[in-house]
Structure 1
Amino acid sequence: MDENRWFWNIIQNDFKTGNIDFEGCMRLLEKMQINFDEDHLKHIFKKTLDKHSGDIISMDDFKAIYRALVHRPEFEELFKAYSMDGNILPDGQLLKFLAKEQFQTEANETTALEIIMKYEPIDEVRKKKQMSFEGFIRYMNSEECSIFKSQHKSVYQDMTQPLCDYFISSSHNTYLIADQLMGPSHLWGYTSALLKGCRCLEIDCWDGNNNEPIVYHGHTLTSKIPFRSVIRVIDKYAFMSSAYPLVLSLENHCSPKQQEVMAECLKTILGDKLLSTPIGGEVDMTRLPSPEVLDFGDFHGNYLLFSYIINLLLLSALKFKVLVKNKKVGTLEQSLLRMGDDYRGEAEELSDSDFQSDDEDTDDTLPLHRTRSPAKRKGDRKSSIPPQKKPKVKRTKIAIVLSDLVVYTKSQKFVSFEHSQQHQQCYENNSIGESQARKLAKISAKEFISHTTRFITRIYPKGTRMSSSNYNPVEFWNVGCQMVALNFQTPGTQMELQDGKFLDNGGCGYVLKPAFLRDRNTTFTPRNVGAYSKPMSLSIRLISGHQLPPSAMSKTNKADPLVQIEIYGVPEDQARKKSSVVKSNALCPKWNETFSFNIQVPELAMIRFCVEDEVSLVSNEFLGQYTLPVMSLNTGYRNIPLISKDGIKLESASLFAHVWYY
C-alpha cells in the first residue's frame, strides 16, 4: 500500500521540527479528519510514551497511534477477502463487495467509481479507479454504511394523506426544561423541540400582569414566561427543521380579555404562517387536509388531471402553516359566517363538560357515555354521582377571536368511542390521559384503532409524574394514536424511542401510519395482528465496538462493555437479548455474537442498541445507545452510531454489525 507517501504528504510539515506532543497529535488527527475520543487518545498516547522517556512522539509513534485508532482487524479481513493482492481493491471487486456483502443489488460500475472518488485519499490510487485500505476504512466508517437506510433520511413517504393518517412528533409541557413541580420554564424548551422536528407543541396559558398572558405549569412553583415571547420563538424556529404543519396545543386557562391578547399575538407575530381559515374558504366535513402541497409540475398541461388536482389542492395546502389547537365555539361553518359578517362578539360560554385541561382531568376513570341533550346529560350525572358529591358546575368563557383561529384542530372532550363515531367531526381532536388511554387500549383496542383512523388523538402523561417522567409511547402508537406527547426535557428509553421513531421520513415530524392503522374497516389489534403484516426474521451479528465512551468510574478504556439489543412493538414482538461482557476494553471490544428475532409486525417495531459498562454483577452503567425503526434497518456490514443519555451523538463511538432479514 502506498501508505508512507500518503502519510508523508499529510504530516510532513508537522514533523519538520522533529517530534510532536499530545496537543500536536490531536491537531494532526483532526487535520486528517479522524474522529477520536480524547480519553482514549490520552490512554494510547501514554502507552506510547511508556516505551521511551519524554512527552513527545516521533512520526513512527504517530503512525502506531493512528493505526490503533483506525486500522480495525474486522475491516482488514473484509478488504483482503476482495482485494487481489491485499493492498488494492479494484472498482470491479468493490462492486462485488457491494452486491454480495452489502446487498446493494442495484449498484453498478458508476456506484463503485463514485465511492472511490469520494473516499479514496491517495491520488495515484484514485486515478486508477482503485481503493486502498485507507479509502476502504473511510467508506466503511461513512454515513453510507450506517445501519439507518439512507433513503429514509429524506422525506420519502406519501404526504398527501389526511392528517389523521400520520404519527406526529408531539411534546408535553414544552415550556419546561426540568420537572413540572419546581422546574424552570424557558424558551429553550420550544427552540430545542422545534430543532428536533417536533410538530405539536403544548402551551399552558394563564392570566398575567398588565393584560399579558403567561406560560407556566399552573398551581406549581415552575417559573413563568410571557406568551408573546413563546410565539416569537415559535415564529423563528417553526419550520427550521421541518416544512410540515406545526400544531400549537393550547391549554387555555386565560380570561376572555387575555385570550384576545393571545389571538392578537398569534395573528401579528405569525402572520401568513397562521392558518385561520379553512383551505379555499370551504369546509370539507369528510376528510382532513394533508401535510403536503401537491406539485403541479407533474401534470404537464393535462387539463383533466389539472382540474382533478385543483379540487385536491384544497385538502393539501398545510405546508409551512401553524395550526391552533384549542376549544372552539360552534362549528367551522359558523366561524366562516362570523368572519363574513365581521362579527364583534366578545366571548361565549362553555360548560366544564366541554372544557378539558390536562391538569383538571384526574385521568383515573373511564368516561361515561353522554348524549347531546343537556337534559339527558344532567340526568346522567345525577344517576352516576351521588347528590351529596355533585361538583359545582363552572363556566369557561372562550373569546370568539381566539375560537375563530381554530380550524382543523378543534379540541373536543372525549366521551366514548361510540359517541365520537356518532357525533364527532373529522376536524375535532381528542386528548386522553395515559391511564385512561391504557385501559381503553387494553379493553377496547379494536374500537380505539377505529377511532384513530378518523380522529386525531393526543395522549398526555398523567399528572402524578411530578418529575416529568415519561410513559412508553409504543403502546399508544400501536393503536394508531397520532400525537403521543412526551416530556422532551426528560432523557431515558422513552425519549430514545420517540427520537428513533421520528428519525424516519427525513426527520420531518410526520410518519405515515401503516395501512392497517389507516383502514377504517381494519380488524387489526396489537394482540391479534392477523394477516395484516408480513413477519420478519431478523439476524444481527454483533461484531465489535469502537472507541466506546469510557466508564465514568474509570475515565480510561478499562470499561467492561456489553450490548443489549431490544425490540419494542406489539406485545408478541417485545424482546431483549444481551451480549457477553468484554473485560477491560472500551477502545475496540470484539463480540462476534449472532442474535435472531422473529418480528410479527415490523411496521410498528423499533430496535434499540444499548451499550453498558458492567459495573458489578447486579448493576450496569449506561454508555450509549441508538434506536431506529426496524423498517429503516440497512442490510450488510453496518456501523451503528451511538448517542449519549442527553441525546448528543458521540462522534467517535460506534458498534459494527452485520444485518440480514427476510
Structure 2
Amino acid sequence: MSKTIAFEIIQKYEPIEEVRKAHQMSLEGFTRYMNSRECLLFKNECRKVYQDMSHPLSDYFISSSHNTYLVSDQLLGPSDLWGYVSALVKGCRCLEIDCWDGAQNEPVVYHGYTLTSKLLFKTVIQAIQKYAFMTSDYPVVLSLENHCSTAQQEVMADNLQATFGESLLSDMLDDFPDTLPSPEALKFKILVKNKKIGTLKETRERKGSDKRGKVEEWEEEVADLEEEEEEEEDKFKESEVFESVLGDNQDKETGVKKLPGVMLFKKKKTRKLKIALALSDLVIYTKAEKFKSFQHSRLYQQFNENNSIGETQARKLSKLRVALNFQTPGLPMDLQNGKFLDNGGSGYILKPQFLRESKSYFNPSNIKEGMPITLTIRLISGIQLPLTHSSSNKGDSLVIIEVFGVPNDQMKQQTRVIKKNAFSPRWNETFTFIIHVPELALIRFVVESQGLIAGNEFLGQYTLPLLCMNKGYRRVPLFSRMGESLEPASLFVYVWYVR
C-alpha cells in the first residue's frame, strides 16, 4: 500500500485526532477500515460497467439460465415467477421459457412431460417486463423452448408485443443490417430467441409489401431445436429417475406409469414443429439453429444465428458450462455468480482478445504463449465464522483456496484445522499459485468445519475473478450455499500477484 493511500485511509477512518495527526491508526480506526468497502478483496473498479460495450454480442460472456421458471427440482417441483425475478435481480440476461399449449388458447410455461406446475406465458413475460432492467441496462434474451401449436404461437406473439411494446426488438437496427449489434446499441431491449422462417431481409421485405393481410396464415415446418439427440439422452435419464422412484408398475402396451391417482407418460420424440409467421417475425438477431459442428458453423452460420447445444454434447466439446439452473445452489452457481460479479454485475463480460479473434489458435489444454501470473495468498485469520448444525461455537475450522480456469491452472490448497475456535481462528499460512491464463481464472475461498465421521461441513464461500482481486491486506466476505451474505463472517488475507 502506497504512503498516499495509507494517509487517505487513516484520515478517513481514524476517529482519534491525536492518532490521526501522528499518521497512525488505533484499534477502533483499524476496525472501521476493516469493515469498509475499501478493504474488501473485490476491486471497486469492477463494481461498475468499465468494459467496452460496443463490441458485437458474440464477443461477450452472457449470464444465462436454464429452466428459469423452476425454483426447486426439475421433476416434481413448482414453477414460479420468482425463478425469473430472482435470476434477473442476479444479473441474468438470458432466460429460458418452455412454452406449451394451454387451456382456453392460453400458452403455458412448465417442464414438459413432468409433474412440475404450470404458469401462464403472459404472466411470465409480465414479470420479466417489470424486473428486466432493474439490475442491468443491457439486453435480455428470451430463449423460447417452443412446443406450441401455430395458433398459440400467434397468441405468444401478441402477448410479447403487448407486454414489451417499444422494448421488444422486432426489426433490424438501421446501423446493423448484416452484423450483430453491441450490448450498448441494444440497451433496454428484449430479444426473442426462437426458430425463424427465412432471412432478416425477407422478413423486412414481406413486412413492407402488400401481403400484410396474409402474413398470419404463413407457416413453415422445421426441426424442433429441443429434440436434438443430446437432449434426448438427458430427457430419458429423467424418465429413468421417475422409474426408480415410482417402480416398475407400467402398462406394457401403452408405456404409461400407473400409480394411485397418477399417470406419467414417458418422453415423446417430437421431431417436427410448425412456426407461426407472427412469432418468427419477432426473431431478429437471435435465430435458433441446430448445432452440427464447429466446422459447419464457421462455413455456413449467419451472423444472426446461434446454437443451443445439449449438455451431453457440450461436455464433449468444452469444459465450460454456459447456462445454469439458477435455483440449484452449489459449485457451478458459485462460479457463475463469481464470474459475473465483474463489469458491474451487468451480465455481460467482454471476452479476452484471444477468444474474440476469428482465427484464434488458443487451446485451453495446451497453453504455449503468455506470461503466467504468480499469485500469493496469505490466509491470516477469520472472524465470526458460521456455526454448523452439529457443533457449538467452538468449531474445527479450515479454509480451502481453489483456482478454476484452464486445465493447467486448476488447483486447490488447504489450511490446517484450527480446533475449537470458529469465532477468531488464526492460520497465518501462505499459498502460491502459478496461473497461466489469468483472464479466465476464478479464485474461490471455501470455509469448512472438519467432520471425522460424516465428512466436512460447508460453512461459507466467496468466489471472484482473479483480475478483480485487490492486492494487499483485504477482507473476504462469506456467502451461504444459497448466495446469502453471512456478514460479519469473513476472512482476512494478504494478496499479491505479479507477472
Q: Same fold (TM over 0.5)?
A: yes
Q: How far does residue 217 in structure 1 lie from its aligned partner after superposition?
A: 0.4
How far did residue 364 of structure 1 move? 5.3
Other structure's SS at 2:275 match: strand
Identify which of 345, 349, 356 aligns with 2:225. 356
SS in 2 for 1:147: coil
* 1:197 and 1:508 in contact (8 A); partners too: yes
Deviations 1:274-311 (A, max 9, x none): 11111128621xx311101xxxxxxxxxxxxxxxxxxx
Q: Counterpart in 2 of 1:624?
A: 460
Counterparts of residues 159-558 of structure 1 (less than 5 Å) = 159-280=53-174, 283-284=177-178, 287-292=179-184, 317-341=185-209, 343=212, 344-346=214-216, 348-352=218-222, 354-357=223-226, 361-362=230-231, 395-441=272-318, 475-476=319-320, 484-531=322-369, 533-554=370-391, 556-558=392-394
Q: 1:422: how far off?
A: 2.2
Q: Which amino acid aligns with 1:569?
A: G
Superposition pairs of residues 68-107 of structure 1, within 5 angstroms: 98-99=1-2
> How many angstroms does 1:156 deviate by?
1.0
Distance 1:181 1:488, change over 3 A: same
Percent identity of paired positions between Structure 1 and Structure 2: 60
Give the C-alpha shift of residue 420 in structure 1: 1.7
Q: Partner letter of residue 428 of structure 1? A: E
- Residues 127 and 275 of structure 1: is their aligned pair in 2 closer, same or farther, counting only changes over 3 Å? farther
Deviation at 1:120, TM superposition (A): 3.2
What's the CA shift for 1:168?
Answer: 0.3
C-alpha separation in 2, matches of 1:635 and 1:659:
5
- 1:524 aligns to what SS in structure 2? coil
Distance 1:130-1:542 versus aligned 2 partners, 3 A rule:
closer
Q: Distance in 2 between matches of 1:346 and 1:645?
A: 48
Amino acid at match of 2:181: P
- 1:27-66 mapped onto 2 (5 Å cutoff): none
1:395 and 1:502 map into 2 onto residues whose CA distance is: 36
Measured in 2, the distance between the counterparts of 1:513 and 1:617 equals: 44
Alignment TM-score, normalising by the size of structure 1: 0.67
Larger fraction in strand: 2
Q: How does 1:114-125 map to 2 (within 5 A)?
A: 114-116=8-10, 118-122=12-16
SS at match of 1:346: helix
Q: 1:349 touches 1:395 (CA, 8 Å); kept in 2?
A: no
CA drift at 1:653? 0.3
How many residues of Structure 1 are paired with residues of Structure 2 in the alignment? 463
Specify the SS of the correspondent of 2:335. helix
Judging changes above 3 Å, is the alpha-carbon distance between structure 1 residues 580 and 395 closer, same or farther for their aligned structure 2 residues?
A: closer
- Greater shift after overlay, 621-630 or 139-148? 139-148
For 2:381 and 2:182, the matched residues in 1 are separated by 44
Q: Residue in 1 aligned with 2:240?
A: none
Q: Flag the structure with higher helix content.
A: 1
The structure 2 residue matched to 1:562, chosen from 377, 393, 398, is: 398
Deviations 1:386-426 (A, max 9, x none): xxxxx999542111111111110000111222222222101
Determine helix, strand or coil for the equivalent of 1:628: strand
- 1:562-617 C-alpha deviation (Å, 9 max, x unpaired): 00111111111111111100000000000001111111111111111000000116
Instruction: State the partner residue of 1:138.
Output: 32
Q: Quickly say closer, same or farther: Cα 1:569–1:239, change in 2 above 3 A.
A: same
Q: Aligned partners of 2:269, 2:97: CA distance in 1, in Å?
A: 27
Question: What is the 5 A alignment of 1:574-589?
Answer: 574-589=410-425
Paired letter, 1:519: E
Q: What is the identity, as a one-letter code, of the residue corresponding to 1:502? A: F
Matches of 1:346 and 1:120 in 2, distance apart? 70
Maintained 8 Å contact 2:93/2:139: yes
- The reply to whether residue 572 of structure 1 matches residue 408 of structure 2 is yes
By relative contact order (CA 8 Å, sep 6+), the higher-ranking structure is: 2
2:341 maps to amino acid: L
Q: Structure 1 residues 164 and 566, CA, compared in 2 at 3 Å: closer, same or farther?
A: same
Q: Is 1:329–1:348's contact at 8 Å kept on the other side of the alignment? A: no
How far apart in 2 are the matches of 1:240 and 1:335? 32
Q: CA deviation at 1:119?
A: 2.5
Aligned to 1:610: 446
Deviations 1:525-559 (A, max 9, x none): 1111221x3211111110000000012112x3211
Residue 273 of structure 1 and its aligned partner are, at CA, apart by 1.1
Residues 348, 437 of structure 1: CA spacing in aligned structure 2 closer, same or farther, 3 A cutoff?
Answer: farther
Query: What displacement does 1:432 show?
Result: 0.4
Q: 1:583 to 1:620 in 2, by over 3 A?
A: same
CA RMSD of aligned residues (A): 2.2
| Structure 1 residues 350 and 132: alpha-carbon distance in aligned structure 2, compared to 1, 3 A threshold | same
Q: Distance in 1 between matches of 2:127 and 2:30?
A: 45
> How far apart are residue 362 of structure 1 and its match?
3.6
TM-score (norm 2): 0.88
Q: Write the letter of the residue equivalent to 1:543.
A: I
2:243 match: none
Structure 1: distance between partners of 2:156 and 2:16: 61
The amino acid that maps onto 1:518 is R
Structure 1 residue aligned with 2:494: 658
Partner residue of 2:256? none
CA contact (8 A) 1:349 1:396 kept: no
> For 1:3-22, what aligned pairs fall within 5 Å after superposition?
none
How far apart, in 2, do the equivalents of 1:618 and 1:573 lie? 30
Partner of residue 310, structure 1: none
Any gaps of 5 or more consecutive residues in structure 1? Answer: 1-97, 100-106, 293-316, 366-390, 442-474, 478-483
Give SS of 2:308's match: strand
Aligned-pair distance for 1:140?
A: 2.1
Distance 1:622 1:121, change over 3 A: same
Q: Is the 8 A contact 1:501 1:628 kept in 2?
A: yes
CA–CA distance in structure 2, aligned partners of residues 131 and 513 of structure 1: 42
- Change in Cα spacing, 1:392 to 1:264, as seen in structure 2 (3 Å) is closer
